[in-house]
């Protein structure tokens, strides 16, 4: 409940920032009666009003001590409930970030092998020969599907310089 | 009778049968890979059609389109990742059914509903090409605005219990759609000097982030239950629904098919809008609306019927006027022109062999979709029942590879990762994510048609009420919003009444 209240306040700040950003848009005479900034400003106002409404609603619910009904379709037992679990979730994004940074240098196949091994380890697989085989074969299969069969020009990294 | 003989000739020509089968199989695989849209799947196959006969080439391209639109539902149901934009609505109940161990049933329902809708759409294509093509011509900017507004009004139904949260997500979706070059004046908006943002934020990236990446984050955050992350009590085979089941679901099937056929010929509307509208209407007319969002079979049948019906009726403006209503239809138009076929009102009288042959090919493609779908789905279910670490790693790689295959841009990865974090946070705070998708999908259409309408009348808003089509659609939107607001107020009052 408190988190929703904080998020609604942050959304209000986003609305203000969005309005200021919309105010910077250069308006051309070609744009007609409603300029390029018209719709963004309207949306900023809408988000401002709605976030204030949500903040007010949440505030009164907090005061009344009401509990919101869970609307998430995910099984309750699966819900991460503490910060440790949220940090684990963010770890996946960090792995994704590393992949993006390594991809242009190591090339698609090697980066994919590292990603498959890294994510499977992070998701709970113990380091083993099986995991290594999974990562290597997986990387080759993805390379064959995306680069050879589909013909998508994925980064080749330093490999062309070696051969 | 000549038409029937042309269609039968196509049905009995081995190269054409193979083109239809190969096209559908490629389409299902392409649609099932997130990031590989139906139009990309068609574009990839286009060079292979150069040496084919015109009829075989066109049938192969349309078969890819049919297969891809269906294929998008497979990852939507099994891994909460819509393979195509139109499959976003299927995620809601399809994935919930999978979590309940009924993924095989959900896949069977989507396959049968899609096949029926595709065949009914084909019948309409044969008999209603002329009148439906005329409907498309009535769509002027005010009517487009009203159609997009009607699409947005569905947010009320997708808000999962909190209308304010749903509206906030819808507005954020519209805000994201404003990023990029202004559709009328060409002024850059919210690009922060980044050239990659000039073209706007493609909604497939946001979808992959808020659905796929957020789901994977949830998976790694959840402690292992000892089952290796495999959903318990799940069936490992695809289950086709019986006739009795489909009869029970006839209302959702009819709504989805009908709306898909009507939306298909309207340029720009497409399967995504049709699927969301059908979901909303199926919920409204259902005897058990409370099941929607919690694993409703009707919630799978309606959007799947809609996006598969669109595959037939979307051909109407392309063949009748040479107007491609979507990227996929633009690829098909390219294929027609490469083979020296000029689409337009005279196509039926000039090349009846091609048009009726195409109808025969489409019939075959829908039958192949059923057969190949049955063959492909059981291995797909087997794949998603692998232990969690392997599955998480494989899905993450499919998503990352799919992202890069769209624009070959590393910048797009960051958009998806940020969308993933936003999706994860919003899910924890019980903000519905579907309104966000609807906002991004409809943002361009709603803004450009609104401003074009006002340009035509020097800023006079009366134009939206003068056009009968626009007026009718706006009234429908007002009705949907009014009913949702009434339901919200009633729900809020109920506990008070009980205490009183």
Q: CB count, 10 Å around CB of B417?
A: 24
Give the residues across from B180 on adjacent strands. Answer: B189
**Backbone dihedral region for residue A100 (phi beyond 0: left; psi -120 to 50: alpha; all else: beta):** alpha
In three-state secondary structure terms, A71 is coil
Burial of A29 (0-12, 13-18, 19+ CB in 10 A): exposed
Q: To the nearest whole angstrom, how far is the Cα of A45 from the nearest Cα of chain B?
A: 10
Burial of B126 (0-12, 13-18, 19+ CB in 10 A): middle
B390: contact with A, CB 8 A cutoff: yes
Select from B29, B400, B498 the residue whose CB has the most chain A CBs within 10 Å, as the one to mutate to test that interface.
B400
B178 vs A30, A43, A99: nearest CB: A43
- Nearest of A134, A63, A66, A68 to residue B393 by alpha carbon: A134
Give me the residue label for tokens 């949440």. A58
Question: Which residues of chain B have a CB within 8 Å of the CB of A97?
Answer: 417
Domain count, chain B: 1
A67: contact with B, CB 8 A cutoff: no
**Backbone dihedral region for residue A107 (phi beyond 0: left; psi -120 to 50: alpha; all else: beta):** left
Give me the pLDDT at residue B235, please.
57
Cβ contact A34–B95 (<8 Å): no
Q: Per-residue pLDDT for chain B (500 aa), expressed as one digit of tens each?
A: 577 788 888 888 888 899 999 999 988 888 887 767 787 788 778 877 877 888 899 999 999 999 988 888 888 898 888 888 788 889 889 999 988 888 889 999 999 999 999 999 888 888 877 676 666 677 788 888 888 888 788 777 677 667 889 899 999 999 999 999 888 888 889 988 888 888 888 877 888 888 888 888 988 887 655 444 445 545 567 788 988 999 999 999 999 999 988 888 776 666 788 888 899 889 888 888 888 888 899 999 999 999 899 888 888 877 877 777 677 887 888 888 888 887 876 777 778 888 888 888 899 999 999 999 888 888 887 777 778 888 889 888 888 888 887 778 888 899 999 999 999 998 888 888 888 888 888 888 888 888 888 888 877 888 888 888 889 889 988 887 887 777 777 766 665 554 44
Cβ contact A99–B400 (<8 Å): yes
Alpha-carbon B60 to chain mean position: 21
Cβ contact A91–B393 (<8 Å): no
A101: pLDDT strictly greater than 80: yes
B397: contact with A, CB 8 A cutoff: yes
A123 vs B164, B219, B401: nearest CB: B219
Q: Is the ipTM of this complex over 0.90?
A: no
Kindly state the tokens that stand for B126. Answer: 């044969």
Select from A44, A55, A84, A119 the residue whose CB has the most chain B CBs within 10 Å, as the one to mutate to test that interface.
A119
Orientation of helix A38-64 relative to helix A2-23, angle to 10°: 160
Q: Considering only alpha carbons, which residue of chain B is nearest residue A126?
A: B389
Orientation of helix B38-45 relative to helix B54-71, angle to 10°: 150
Q: How far is CA B291 from CA B43, B96, B133, B160, B194, in A?
A: 39, 11, 37, 12, 44
Question: Which residues of chain B have a CB within 8 Å of the CB of A43?
Answer: 171, 174-175, 178
Give the residues across from B188 on adjacent strands. Answer: B181
A46: contact with B, CB 8 A cutoff: yes
Within the 304-363 window of chain B, which residues sit less than 8 Å (CB to CB) from chain A?
Answer: none
B96: contact with A, CB 8 A cutoff: yes
Q: Considering only alpha carbons, which residue of chain B is nearest residue A120?
A: B389
The domain containing residue B27 runs over which residues?
2-499
């Amino acid at each position: 409940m408190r988190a929703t209240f904080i998020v609604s306040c942050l959304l209000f700040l986003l609305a203000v920032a969005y309005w200021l950003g919309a105010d910077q848009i250069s308006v051309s005479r070609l744009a007609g009666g409603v300029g390029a900034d018209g719709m963004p400003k309207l949306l900023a106002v809408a988000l401002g009003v709605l976030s204030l409404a949500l903040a007010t609603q949440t505030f009164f619910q907090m005061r009344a001590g009401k509990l919101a009904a869970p609307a998430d379709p995910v099984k309750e037992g699966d819900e991460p409930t503490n910060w440790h679990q949220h940090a684990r979730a963010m770890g996946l994004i960090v792995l994704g970030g590393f992949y993006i940074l390594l991809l242009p240098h190591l090339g698609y196949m090697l980066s994919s092998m590292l990603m498959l091994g890294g994510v499977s380890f992070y998701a709970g697989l113990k380091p083993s020969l099986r995991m290594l085989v999974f990562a290597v074969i997986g990387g080759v299969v993805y390379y064959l599907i995306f680069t050879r069969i589909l013909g998508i020009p994925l980064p080749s990294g330093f490999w062309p310089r070696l051969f | 009778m000549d038409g029937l003989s042309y269609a039968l000739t196509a049905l009995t020509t081995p190269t054409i049968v193979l083109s239809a089968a190969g096209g559908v199989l490629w389409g299902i695989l392409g649609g099932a890979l997130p990031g590989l849209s139906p139009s990309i799947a068609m574009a990839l196959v286009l060079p292979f059609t150069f040496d084919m006969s015109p009829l075989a080439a066109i049938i192969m391209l349309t078969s890819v389109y049919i297969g891809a639109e269906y294929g998008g539902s497979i990852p939507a149901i099994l891994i909460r990742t819509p393979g195509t934009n139109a499959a976003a609505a299927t995620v809601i109940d399809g994935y919930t059914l999978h979590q309940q161990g009924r993924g095989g049933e959900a896949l069977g329902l989507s396959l049968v509903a899609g096949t029926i809708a595709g065949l009914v759409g084909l019948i309409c294509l044969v008999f209603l090409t002329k009148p439906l093509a005329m409907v498309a011509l009535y769509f002027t900017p005010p009517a487009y605005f009203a159609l997009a507004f009607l699409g947005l009004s569905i947010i009320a139904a997708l808000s999962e219990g909190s209308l304010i949260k749903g509206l906030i997500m819808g507005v954020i979706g519209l805000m994201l759609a404003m990023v990029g070059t202004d559709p009328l004046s060409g002024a850059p908006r919210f690009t922060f000097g980044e050239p990659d943002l000039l073209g706007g934020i493609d909604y497939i990236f946001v979808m992959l982030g808020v659905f796929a990446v957020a789901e994977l984050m949830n998976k790694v955050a959840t402690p292992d239950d000892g089952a290796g992350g495999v959903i318990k009590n799940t069936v490992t085979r695809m289950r086709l629904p019986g006739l009795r089941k489909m009869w029970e679901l006839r209302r959702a099937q009819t709504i989805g098919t009908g709306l898909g056929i009507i939306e298909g010929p309207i340029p720009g509307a497409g399967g995504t809008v049709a699927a969301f509208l059908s979901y909303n209407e199926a919920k409204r007319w259902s005897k058990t609306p409370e099941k929607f969002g919690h694993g409703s079979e009707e919630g799978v049948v309606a959007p799947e019927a809609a996006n598969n019906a669109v595959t037939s009726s979307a051909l109407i403006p392309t063949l009748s006027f040479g107007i491609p209503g979507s990227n996929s239809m633009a690829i098909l138009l390219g294929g027609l022109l490469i083979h020296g076929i000029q689409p337009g009102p005279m196509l039926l009288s000039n090349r009846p062999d091609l048009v009726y042959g195409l109808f025969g090919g489409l019939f075959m493609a829908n039958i192949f979709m059923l057969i190949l779908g049955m063959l492909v789905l059981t291995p797909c279910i087997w794949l998603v029942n692998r232990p969690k670490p392997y599955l998480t790693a494989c899905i993450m790689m499919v998503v990352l590879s799919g992202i890069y295959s769209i624009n070959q841009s590393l910048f797009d990865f960051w958009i998806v990762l940020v969308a993933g974090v936003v999706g994860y946070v919003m899910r924890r705070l019980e903000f519905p994510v579907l309104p966000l998708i609807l906002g991004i999908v409809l943002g361009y259409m709603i803004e450009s048609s609104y401003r074009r309408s006002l340009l035509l009348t020097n800023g006079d808003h009366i134009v939206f009420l003068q056009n009968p089509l626009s007026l009718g659609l706006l009234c429908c939107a007002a009705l949907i919003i009014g009913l949702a607001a009434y339901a919200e107020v009633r729900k809020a009052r109920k506990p008070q009444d009980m205490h009183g």
